[in-house]
């Protein structure tokens, strides 16, 4: 609980809701007849509407990126370290927009919302979203907010994929694109991890083929397992070693099958905590959106050709110990952009945190983003 | 303006595409952008330099040049530049070949190990030379391949590389008649403009 709101915080924030009655055609071939998007904004849109930055969230993220919802909040938004007055994404200067993606479980229309056709929750019948569907819905929100052109679209991990998609689908609507700890598509190993997570959820007896809300229950155990697995892939070997080593929970081996090591206790805690707050169908949907993301597929698998449509400047950043989307994966994007002769800068940041590093205010990372956002104002060079 | 950058700038055509290997803080590319509307990228290994490039709007890609340049297409740039770094690479001859595979032309600058002070240092003192242009002790120098202007020109000859222009200067990047007469003895830094 923040007894005082820190001076560099955006402070108390109220989420907003935008309702759309225009149907949204989806990549799957289905259509979302109407929907609502929940979002937050920080800072002030300037007179010529040129200072707006869109933040795209990752798999388990949401619209609450900075500040507090109430004085009782234990923690601020998920990227509070980087968004606020005087911070990297300086809200004294920029107007920041952060949206909960469709299919999410934090207020935007998703599997827990009521399907107007049936009067019951969508559940597993909510259409599977593709990254391009999210981007389309975000563009409609931009229209609604009067933002013709983003100063930059920024995202880490799955958020980075949305930023990349933006540059392909709406090339004229952004000056800069920051793609952080992402990949141009998932590898077999990435998909494999997602599949294990999905199976963990689907095999929970409380899953009921996704209709668990009709049974007034939730597949908590399965979602917990999925999160535990995911969490391991977000951390590096060295980060886990540093954090837990082989420390024992009770100082001694128990010779039973309960928790012995601190790392087990930590994962269980994280998993349980997550399964209390997150919807299993949303988790399934998000992992599918990840698996399906492959913008080059529409261009004979030629990513360079695909990205040659872009008109913005790119910043690509990776982290040395990230093995979920390793630096090599970011370099695939960079290579394609060079081949397409698009302006791009790339840095592999030396950081011990693994994939999660993108959330931390690592000094050179902070300087990099700050420098990039600033350079977009002066025009910079192609 | 750094005098060596001024020399390099003269050899780069307006609006051309440039790749700067070991671009440092991006001074050269910023200069070429502002004065010659040049586009392209710098490759750099140092994080601080990369952040500075990004801050000034110079496109820079994090890269250890010793890991090769395979992913750059043949003849995809007009000019590939390497300023004061060739002596720091593990395979300088390979780098020069790669520069002319990727670019139609290349500009290379490097310190002359054949300068008379260097020769005298090693010849008389019997120790590895330390000077203003080569300021490191042998065990900590990033310069791992020492060569002279003549060595470089022999390499170019052997590999069928044409020298379009050459400028030899002293440490203040000034040229005079003595240097022009005995470049390999009196020149400290050379700038070569080469092509196939």
CATH of the domain at B32: 3.40.50.150
Nearest by CB to residue A375, choosing from B55, B61, B62, is: B55
Question: What is the rounded average pLDDT of the residues A266-289?
Answer: 97
Cβ–Cβ < 8 Å for A152, A55: no
Active site amino acids of A: 157, 322, 355
pLDDT digits (tens, 9 = 90+) for A164-215: 999 999 999 999 999 999 999 999 999 999 999 999 999 999 999 999 999 9
Burial class (CB in 10 A: 0-12, 13-18, 19+), A99: buried
Are B57 and A344 in contact (CB < 8 Å)? no
Residues B194, A254: Cα–Cα separation, whole Å? 72
pLDDT at A381 over 50: no
Are B41 and A338 in contact (CB < 8 Å)? yes
| Helix ranges (DSSP H) in A255-309 | 262-277, 280-292, 303-307
pTM for this structure?
A: 0.95
Task: Give CA A186 to chain center in angstroms.
Answer: 15
Size of interface A-B (CB pairs under 8 A): 67
pLDDT value of residue B134:
80
Query: How many other CB atoms are found less than 10 A from the CB of residue B95?
Result: 22
In eight-state DSSP terms, residue A12 is B
pLDDT at A380 over 60: no
Residues A74, A94: Cα–Cα separation, whole Å? 26
Domain that holds residue B148: 3-195
Within 8 A of A347 by CB-CB distance, chain B residues are 47, 50-51, 54, 62
What is the domain count for chain B?
Answer: 1
Residues of chain B whose beta carbon is less than 8 angstroms from a beta carbon of chain A are 17, 29-30, 33, 39, 41, 47-48, 50-62, 71-73
Q: Where are the beta strands (DSSP E) in A138-275?
A: 150-156, 174-180
pLDDT at A226 over 70: yes
The residues with which A37 forms a beta bridge, in sequence order, are A18
Burial class (CB in 10 A: 0-12, 13-18, 19+), B193: buried
For residue A2, what pLDDT band results from cuts at 50, 70 and 90? low
For residue B111, what pLDDT band results from cuts at 50, 70 and 90? confident
Residues A6, A8: Cα–Cα separation, whole Å? 5
pLDDT digits (tens, 9 = 90+) for A235-276: 999 999 999 999 999 999 999 999 999 999 999 999 999 999
pLDDT at A112 over 50: yes
pLDDT at B1 over 70: no
Nearest by CB to residue A345, choosing from B33, B48, B53, is: B53
Residue of B29, B49, B57 to mutate for A, most A C-beta atoms under 10 A: B57
% of chain B surpassing 70 pLDDT: 98
pLDDT value of residue A379:
52
| Residue whose C-alpha is closest to residue B82's, from B66, B59, B106 | B106
Are B62 and A347 in contact (CB < 8 Å)? yes
pLDDT digits (tens, 9 = 90+) for B39-87: 999 999 999 999 999 999 999 999 999 999 999 999 999 999 999 899 9
CA distance A373 to chain B (A): 8
């Amino acid at each position: 609980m923040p007894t005082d709101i820190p001076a560099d915080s955006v402070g108390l924030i109220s989420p907003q809701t935008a309702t759309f009655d225009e149907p949204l055609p989806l990549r799957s071939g289905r259509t979302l007849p109407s929907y609502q998007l929940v979002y937050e904004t920080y800072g002030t849109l300037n007179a010529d509407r040129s200072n707006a930055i869109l933040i795209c969230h990752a798999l388990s993220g949401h619209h609450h990126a900075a500040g507090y919802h109430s004085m009782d909040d234990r923690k601020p938004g998920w990227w509070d370290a980087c968004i606020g007055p005087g911070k990297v994404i300086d809200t004294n200067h920029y107007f920041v927009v952060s949206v909960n993606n469709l299919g999410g479980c934090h207020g935007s229309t998703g599997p827990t919302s009521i399907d107007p056709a049936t009067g019951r929750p969508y559940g597993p019948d909510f259409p599977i979203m593709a990254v391009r569907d999210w981007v389309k819905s975000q563009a409609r929100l931009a229209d609604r907010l009067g933002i013709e052109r983003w100063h930059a679209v920024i995202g880490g991990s799955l958020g980075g994929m949305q930023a990349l998609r933006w540059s392909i689908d709406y090339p004229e609507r952004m000056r800069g694109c920051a793609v952080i700890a992402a990949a141009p598509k998932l590898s077999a190993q990435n998909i494999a991890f997602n599949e294990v997570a999905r199976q963990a959820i689907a095999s929970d007896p409380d899953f009921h083929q996704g209709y668990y809300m009709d049974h007034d229950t939730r597949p908590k155990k399965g979602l917990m397992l999925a999160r535990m697995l995911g969490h391991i892939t977000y951390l590096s070997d060295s980060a886990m070693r540093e954090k837990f080593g082989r420390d024992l929970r009770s100082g001694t081996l128990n010779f039973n099958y309960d928790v012995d090591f601190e790392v087990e206790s930590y994962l269980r805690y994280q998993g349980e905590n997550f399964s209390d707050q997150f919807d299993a169908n949303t988790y399934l949907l998000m992992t599918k959106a990840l698996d399906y993301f492959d913008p080059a597929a529409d261009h004979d698998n030629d990513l360079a050709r695909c990205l040659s449509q872009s008109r913005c400047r790119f910043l690509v950043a990776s982290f040395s110990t990230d093995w979920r989307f390793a630096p090599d994966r970011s370099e695939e994007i960079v290579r394609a952009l060079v081949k397409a002769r698009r302006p791009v800068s790339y840095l592999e940041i030396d950081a011990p945190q693994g994939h999660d590093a993108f959330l931390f205010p690592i000094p050179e990372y902070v300087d990099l983003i700050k420098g990039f956002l600033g350079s977009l104002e002066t025009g910079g060079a192609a | 303006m750094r005098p060596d950058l001024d020399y390099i700038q003269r050899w780069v055509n307006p609006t051309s595409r440039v790749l700067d290997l070991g671009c440092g803080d991006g001074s050269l590319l910023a200069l070429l952008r502002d004065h010659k509307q040049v586009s392209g990228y710098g490759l750099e290994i140092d994080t601080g330099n990369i952040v500075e490039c990004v801050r000034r709007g110079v496109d820079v890609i994090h890269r250890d040049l010793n890991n090769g340049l395979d992913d750059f297409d043949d003849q995809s740039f007009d000019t590939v530049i390497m300023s004061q770094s060739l002596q720091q690479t593990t395979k300088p001859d390979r780098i020069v070949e790669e520069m002319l595979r990727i670019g139609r032309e290349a500009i290379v600058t490097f310190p002359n190990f054949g300068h008379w002070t260097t020769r005298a240092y090693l010849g008389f003192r019997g120790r590895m030379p330390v000077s203003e242009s080569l300021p490191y002790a042998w065990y900590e120098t990033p310069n791992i391949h020492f060569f002279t202007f003549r060595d470089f020109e022999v390499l170019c000859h052997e590999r069928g590389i044409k020298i379009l222009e050459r400028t030899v200067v002293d440490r203040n990047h000034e040229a005079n008649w003595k240097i022009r007469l005995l470049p390999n003895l009196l020149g400290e830094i050379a700038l070569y403009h080469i092509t196939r």
